[in-house]
Amino acid sequence: MHERERCGGVLAHPTSLWGPHGVGALGPEAHAFVDRMRAAGLRRWQVLPLGPAGHGHSPYAALSVFAGSPWLVSLAPLFEAGWLAPGDLDAEPDWPEGRVDFAQVEAWKGRALRAAHERFAREASDADRGALAAFCHDARDWLDDYALFMSLKQEAGGAAWTDWHRPLARREPEALAAARARLAGEVDLHRFVQFVFERQWQALRAHAHRTGVRLIGDLPLFAAHDSADVWAHPELFHLDEEGQARVVAGVPPDYFSATGQLWGNPVYRWSAHRATGYAWWLARLARALGQVDFVRLDHFRGLCAAWHVRATEPTAQHGRWVRGPGAAFLRAVRERFGSLPLIAEDLGTITEDVYALRDRFDLPGMRVLQFGFSDEDPKSALHAPHNHVRNAVAYTGTHDNDTAASWLLGLDREHDPRTEEERGRERARVLAYAGAHTDDPAHWVLLRLLFGSVADIAVAPVQDLLGLGPEARMNRPGTVGPQNWSWRLTDRDAARLCSDEVTAPLREAVGRYGRA
């Protein structure tokens, strides 16, 4: 990983930012968030996958691994450009506080983006039309399939592509040509939204770079079955003649779930990828690295071996490990990009060959403080601060963990897999380890350990910077429901982020531990 330096960062998905219209977006609030991070001395912003969320509103089950989420588009720049006028918008719903109601956002913001596209088509300048045409040309390798996929999916009432009219599901050329003609207006709309997303994201990235902040993206190893990617490239996945997955990916029973996690993603035909020199993967990484500075490769262990489960199994308990492409894949990436700006997500059931592959290519792994103090897990010691290494990214917790305060105080007993006795032992162990007292703020007990870690990069979820409780958890693995992925900062939280209450101790800790 290039640009190795000691620094601190924050983990916050853009949907979790405060602001109008029911969901965090890429406009003024995102720029202000960068400024507030920098004021606190933090120089890395890590986000979750940026794609249009699919099943369960999970960004890890995106409808495209190349596209950006329409709901991240900010309306403010559209007003500034003259592509929206106040009269174009419906009356806004009564948005919930501290949560994203995705159904409301999709309906209301979808109409707003459609209105912006219609006004653009009527009134855009020649320069803006030229910029849209240039974007569509440059992105055509993924954009054309994505725009048609989304248009067909809408026409089919949201049905999965495997349930479409057979000639469309099988991508017969005559059926696709007829669909492009029939749905030309919708296809143009989806192209336009991606153009706007890209313009806003690049403006945000440029602002971050000007302030000295670098962006860490997140790339799920697998693609969602119901996605433009699998529909457009079925030959790269293990599918049957009807396009259904023969086997799906997941992980065996672990800390988060006694029955494992059955993700449902189709697994790769790595031989087909190898035959093309990993062309699809290299294009995917090129797209990501055009948006962020570093990429966390989620489920890195799948490059060594992935947990394959028959598609008919109800849980992930019964499966088998199947070898992945390993070093050949990373060599191809290094040859293409000249370096490996990757972070290896090496959590969970990890074998020595995974660590060996990570170290062979000098990739930083992950260390999570919440995993570092168990007396039940023999691998817990890896995550204890005294066992951290420089070439790593340390976290208080990830998007899948409880918040630091809630975990340490044992507040979320319904979803915490630990017994009451285990919670008490871990809390006592953390407090003794940190030399902390029971009246110290729980989140700062872990934040001080985090910033004091020898790991080059230390990242805390924004929830932990604010000391929030279990209500602010981003995701509970193995569950599907409105509580997942929907948390966002309130205006009150945003005010605290720029107050001395939060920024002063952060600046002090960043400086004390050499991360300034």
- Decide if pLDDT at 514 tops 80: yes
The residue annotated as part of the active site, out of 101, 400, 422, 471, is 400
Q: Residue 437: its pLDDT value, please?
A: 82
pLDDT, averaged across the chain: 95
> Could you tell me if 396 and 461 are in contact, meaning their C-beta atoms sit under 8 angstroms apart?
yes
d(CA 432, CA 428): 6
pTM of the model: 0.96
Q: Residue 3: its pLDDT value, please?
A: 58
- Decide if pLDDT at 1 tops 60: no
User: What CA–CA distances, in Å, run from 364 to 92, 153, 228, 481?
Assistant: 45, 39, 31, 33
- Decide if pLDDT at 4 tops 80: no
- Complete DSSP assignment for 404-450: HHHHHHT--TTT--S-HHHHHHHHHHHHHHHT--TTS-HHHHHHHHH
Greatest alpha-carbon pair distance for the chain in Å reads: 71
Residue 248 pairs with which residues in a beta bridge?
266, 309
Q: What are phi and psi of 297, to 5 degrees?
A: -90, 100
Residue 10 pairs with which residues in a beta bridge?
45, 460
Residues 55-64: pLDDT tens digits?
A: 899 999 999 9
User: What CA–CA distances, in Å, run from 511 to 376, 408, 465, 516?
Assistant: 35, 25, 16, 5
Closest to 132 (Cα-Cα) out of 195, 51, 220, 58: 195
The residue annotated as part of the active site, out of 186, 218, 293, 345, is 345
Rg over alpha carbons for the chain, rounded to the nearest Å, is 23
Q: How far apart are the two ends of the chain, measured CA to CA in Å?
A: 20
Q: Examine the residue annotation and report whether 92 is marked as an active-site residue of this protein.
A: no
The distance of Cα 229 from the centroid of its chain, to the nearest Å, equals 17
88 class by beta-carbon count within 10 Å (0-12 exposed, 13-18 middle, 19+ buried): middle
- Decide if pLDDT at 303 tops 70: yes
Residues 377-425: pLDDT tens digits?
A: 777 899 999 999 999 999 999 999 999 999 999 999 888 888 999 999 9
Q: Examine the residue annotation and report whether 35 is marked as an active-site residue of this protein.
A: no
Q: Examine the residue annotation and report whether 400 is marked as an active-site residue of this protein.
A: yes
Q: Residue 380: its pLDDT value, please?
A: 87
The residue annotated as part of the active site, out of 186, 298, 456, 464, is 298
- Decide if pLDDT at 481 tops 90: no
Residues 205-217: pLDDT tens digits?
A: 999 999 999 999 9
CB atoms within 10 A of CB 345: 21
- Mean pLDDT to the nearest integer, 264-271: 96
